[in-house]
Amino acid sequence: MFRGRARALTARVERAIAAIATPATTSRSGGAREATRRLASTTAREDDGGRDDDWLAARKRWKAEVNEMRKAWRREFDEKSAEKAKAEEVARAEVAEAKAERLAEKARARAARAGASARTLEELKREKDRKMRVIAGRRYQRAHAMSLRRQAREVDLLKQSRDWIDTPEALEASIERAMAHPERLFK
């Protein structure tokens, strides 16, 4: 990735230098035009076939400038990447903080509901116990009333039973009559 960008940067710089090196129509000195033309040429040679020292120096300066531009670009790229990473980290921290706050709020609500339901369960238990005591009290009262009625009935039956048989002869006559005409006890 870096090499591709460096190549693109190098190509831009080369185009800029080529644009500078093209013959200017308003230039007054023909020597400057020739020098820039020679600077742009990669095959600039002296008359004896060796490379031109000026051209080599210009090429060295150009490479140094390109290298400085590449380093500057890399610094800017790293700074932007660091800023972007820092911004993303801040955003993640904010999201995490908001999530933690939501979870804490849910936990508080859950605890409040649990406390309320515990109180509600306790109240329900007390209410149920009270109802059971009321029911047990009513059962006791009903049983006591039935017991009193039973005792009163027994007293009444005892009083009536004294009048059922007037004399011992009447008892004997009723026993003989029952023996003479037996009846089933349960029909």
pLDDT in tens, 84-110: 999 999 999 999 999 999 999 999 998
Residue 61 lies in a domain: no
Helix, coil or strand: residue 45: strand
Residue 15 lies in a domain: no
The domain in which residue 125 lies consists of 73-165
Q: What is the maximum alpha-carbon separation in the chain?
A: 179
Taking phi over 0 as left and psi of -120 to 50 as alpha, with beta for the rest, 45 belongs to beta
What would the two tokens of residue 121 be?
A: 């369960």
Residue 1 lies in a domain: no
pLDDT in tens, 130-179: 999 999 999 999 999 999 999 999 999 888 888 788 888 988 998 999 99
**Residues whose CB is less than 8 angstroms from the CB of residue 46 and which lie 6 or more positions away in sequence, other chains included:** 52
pLDDT confidence band for 122 (50 / 70 / 90): confident
Residue 109 lies in a domain: yes
Residue 24 lies in a domain: no
Count of structural domains within the chain: 1
Residue 50 lies in a domain: no
